């Protein structure tokens, strides 16, 4: 009975919300979501009593290690940023990341918007393909 105790069968599989094809993880870092107010903590963290939420809010920003944004690849739609939520039973709930989610992540800016410190010309030129980038063995 080979593979009886294999953990490979327990690997979660994620599917594209647009075409239902399988998504592949790209190995990007996890960007965890954070909450600042007691009401926000209580609403977003599962089974959080009101008093505990008030105490956590008094300490400062609360980073939730059970909710994060990660990059995936769909064969048809390209790169997608998904919000993953780990439930108390250990299962993962997956949805598309929204702009609201990006505002609540640690160490990030929204990848859909260009860097404001980069000029328009530089940004446009960085998006163009160049023949100099093609490696040829002559």
Residue 52's Cα: distance from chain center in Å? 27
pLDDT the model gives residue 52: 92
pLDDT at 69 over 90: yes
- pTM of the predicted model, to two decimals? 0.72
Asked if the model's pLDDT at residue 22 lies above 80, the reply is: yes
pLDDT at position 1, please? 58
Q: What average pLDDT does range 108-114 have in this prediction?
A: 67
């Amino acid at each position: 009975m080979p593979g009886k105790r294999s953990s490979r069968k327990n690997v979660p599989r994620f599917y594209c919300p647009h075409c239902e094809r399988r998504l592949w993880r790209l190995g990007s870092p996890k960007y965890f979501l954070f909450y600042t107010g007691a009401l926000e903590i209580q609403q977003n963290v599962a089974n959080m009593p009101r008093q505990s939420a008030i105490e956590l809010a008094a300490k400062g920003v609360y980073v939730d290690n059970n909710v994060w944004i990660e990059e995936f690849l769909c064969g048809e739609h390209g790169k997608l940023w998904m919000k993953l939520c780990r439930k108390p039973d250990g299962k993962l709930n997956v949805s598309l990341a929204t702009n609201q989610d990006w505002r609540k992540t640690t160490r990030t800016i929204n990848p859909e918007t260009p860097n404001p410190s980069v000029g328009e010309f530089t940004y446009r030129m960085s998006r163009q393909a160049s023949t100099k980038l093609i490696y040829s063995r002559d």
